[in-house]
Amino acid sequence: MSPERILADRLAEALARTDKRPLIVGICGAQGSGKSTLAKALAHRFPRTATLSLDDLYLTRAERAALARTRHPLFATRGAPGTHDIALGRATLDALRAGEPVRLPRFDKASDDRSSPDVWPEVSPPYDLVVFEGWCVGAVPQAAEALAAPINELERTEDSDGCWREAVNAALAGPYQDLFARLDMLVLLAAPDWETVGQWRQDQEACLRRTAGEGAGVMDEAAVARFIQHYERLTRHILQEMPGRADLVLRLSADRTCRELQSVAAPQNVLPAADLSTTE
């Protein structure tokens, strides 16, 4: 069954049981897992929905360049904790929670920079749902000892002393936890494994190359392989750690369909896809 239908049905049940409005739902999922598609489907099912992506909270290109000069060169690349404007995220979610009109931040990946605020879309209350999606939404830091050994070529050659990964972990342990504390519900789209994530990301970029053409700022296979190494450590950690505490875990197959559903409220209730449509 599709993740869109499963989660929409569960959210309809949750909204029917509570008077809390809006319900802030965090969706965590690796690159290529279908988070944006899912958020759009939920907004279609629940018209009074505001959607925000962690990707739209990236620091500006100039701010990341400054971090690269003062902290570590790897902070020039968007993605890892430490490269987002957490204050902007907190202010946006707080305004939505308060039922205020809000301009939703937007980031232009083509220019690798934040879009001008005058083009940010404005949403108006009332809101039933706020969907906050991102590759590490709801993640928690690793234990310090887990950072010692590099896990890929990027860490071995460009972070040999562990300075970057320690800074990323510290950022995740600090302001990011304050941002994620605003979630009422955490949903994980769990990829089968890291290798599948890599293939999903390569497929995404191949599609962009076909539609945008050469020379349009699209990465080739080698560039994608390096880029996703910035995400590998935390993605592996999320896939191992988050299923034990997320409110809902949708375990995906390589084709992104849901093969298994797990509710942490009843962790023993792990269901194959064939049973999902009839289970409360």
**Percentage with pLDDT > 70 across the chain:** 91
* Alpha-carbon distances of 143 from 6, 45, 104, 280, rounded to whole Å: 33, 39, 34, 36
What pairing do the DSSP bridges indicate for beta strands 23-29 and 129-134?
parallel
3-class DSSP assignment, residue 101: coil
Give the separation between CA 266 and CA 100, rounded to whole angstroms: 35
Q: Are 70 and 167 in contact (CB under 8 A)?
A: no
Confidence of residue 273 (pLDDT cuts 50, 70, 90): very low
- What is the rounded CA–CA span in Å between residue 53 and residue 108? 12
Q: Is the pLDDT of residue 31 over 80?
A: yes
The pLDDT tens digits of the residues spanning 160-192 come to: 999 999 999 999 999 999 999 999 999 999 999
DSSP state of 217: S
pLDDT computed for residue 200 by the predictor: 93
pTM of the model: 0.90
| Alpha-carbon 86 to chain mean position | 14
- Where does 158-231 show beta strands of DSSP type E? 185-190
**Predicted pLDDT at 210:** 76
**215 secondary structure, DSSP code:** T
Tens digit of pLDDT for each residue in 76-88? 999 999 999 999 9
Decide if pLDDT at 268 tops 80.
Answer: no
Q: Dig out the tokens for 194 from the structure.
A: 């890291």
C-alpha 10/C-alpha 16 separation (Å) is 10
Q: What is the CATH number of domain 3-262?
A: 3.40.50.300
| Confidence check: pLDDT of 121 > 60 | yes
Can you read off the two tokens belonging to residue 78? 């968007």
Residues 6+ away with beta carbon under 8 Å from 171 = 81, 82
Across the chain, what does the average pLDDT equal?
91
Query: Cα separation of 47 and 43, whole Å?
Result: 6
Residue 92 has pLDDT above 90, yes or no: yes
Q: How far apart are CA 188 and CA 238, in angstroms?
A: 9
